[in-house]
Amino acid sequence: MHRRHLLLGATALVLDRAQAQGHAGHAMALPPAASASQPYARLQGGVPHHLSPEQEAQRVFDSPAAPGPAGRWVPRAAMPIPRSEMAWATAARGRMHVVGGYGEGAVNRDYHHLYDPAADRWLDAAPLPRGANHVAVAADGDRVYAFGGFVEQNRRSDALAYAYELDSNRWTPIAPMPRPRGAAAAVVLDGNIHLIGGASEPAAERASVGWHEVYDPKADRWSARKALPGARDHVGCVAYNGLIHVVGGRFNTFEYNTTLHHVYLPARDTWELRAPMPSERSGHGMVVYRGRLYAMGGEGGILVGGVPRQARVYGQMESYDPASDSWQRHAPMPTPRHAVAAVAIGDWVYVAGGGAVLGGSVQSAVHEAFTLG
């Protein structure tokens, strides 16, 4: 039974509305979600799992980038459920929103958990109207947006799109995407949401795309922009200083990861190359922190008949300086993971959940936070 269903029935027993309004402007109370008791679970059966020595050997920590300030990682409250393939997370009003993904033995979950760093606790929010993995999410103002995703394991995408109202804890449908896709990147720039890359139909091919479409929340309408050079999915993507950076990712599968780093210039509707990411990977998180772009985690390797070969799950933490067009390395994540939920809030970078081994067979509830402070 889902923990969410138990907790939603107990909403009346948690903090009252007045308390919620007094917490950083949040409009309504949400039920707490207790942290998972086990750090890992197998997708098959959704049962607790302990990593084997062979699986732990997949972990990679070394980065070829020049050294930068090490920083430090500390543990934070574990996720309520071991999860992966969320792709990725977003922050709104000082909280992290994690939507959809794999968990509890299924790949089409409608989970919607919030992390409150001030209290170091997780909350249960209204579930996504339909379950999916690799849902693109972005937040702007009083809304969190969710776009597309896969309803099967990393394939069979749809074009559904939703907006979540922070004040009412409710999802509503918005204009569907022009074309179905999952594992795309969503980023807010100048009040619009850019949806870039991903993978689409037919499901048997699951090919990467370079599509670049923009959603206007005020008009509830989509328009097209210049496509991403080098179609790919599972990228790192952020907006910074009026530009959009798309970093790394994969061409169709993690066997074909790339270090490509493109930047979108909206005034000219064009793309330019920037210094490549030092470690080629996909499924990594990316955030803006202290004026730099930080990329963490990811995966790479080959699956032969479902058996991993040259399997790598990355713990690397590398950052990019837009001013000098250069990369540095920092203290790696203590627990390497891919398809993580990653956001920057205050002076911390929070990285929750993710896949513990190559592919989607093992989910993680591990939650670690990084700071240079």
- Per-residue pLDDT of 5-15, as tens digits, reads 444 333 333 33
Query: SS3 of 238, please?
Result: strand
165: tokens are: 């109202």
Largest CA distance in the chain: 56
Q: Are 181 and 148 in contact (CB under 8 A)?
A: yes
Instruction: Quickly count: other Cβ atoms within 10 Å of residue 273's Cβ.
Output: 12
Q: What is the pTM of this model?
A: 0.92
What is the arithmetic mean of pLDDT over 20-33?
Answer: 64
- CATH code of 3-371, in short, is 2.120.10.80
The residue among 52, 1, 74, 82 whose CA lies nearest residue 353 is 82
Report DSSP letters for 207-272, one per residue.
-B---EEEEETTTTEEEE-PPPSS--BS-EEEEETTEEEEE--BSSSGGGB---EEEEETTTTEEE
pLDDT higher than threshold 50 for residue 126: yes
Could you give the C-alpha distances from 331 to 69, 78, 261, in angstroms and in order?
Answer: 8, 20, 22
What is the arithmetic mean of pLDDT over 249-264?
Answer: 96
Taking only Cα atoms into account, the Rg of the chain, rounded to an integer number of angstroms, comes to 19
pLDDT of residue 296: 98
- Per-residue pLDDT of 272-301, as tens digits, reads 999 999 999 999 999 999 999 999 999 999
Confidence of residue 65 (pLDDT cuts 50, 70, 90): very high
pLDDT higher than threshold 90 for residue 16: no
User: Would you list the domain boundaries of the chain?
Assistant: 3-371
| Mean pLDDT across the chain | 92
pLDDT higher than threshold 80 for residue 217: yes
- E strands, 5-92, are 32-33, 40-42, 59-60, 66-67, 72-75, 90-92
What is the arithmetic mean of pLDDT over 335-343?
Answer: 97
Q: Which residues pair with 244 in a beta bridge?
A: 239, 264
- Tell me the C-alpha distance between 133 and 151, whole Å: 6
What is the arithmetic mean of pLDDT over 214-237?
Answer: 97
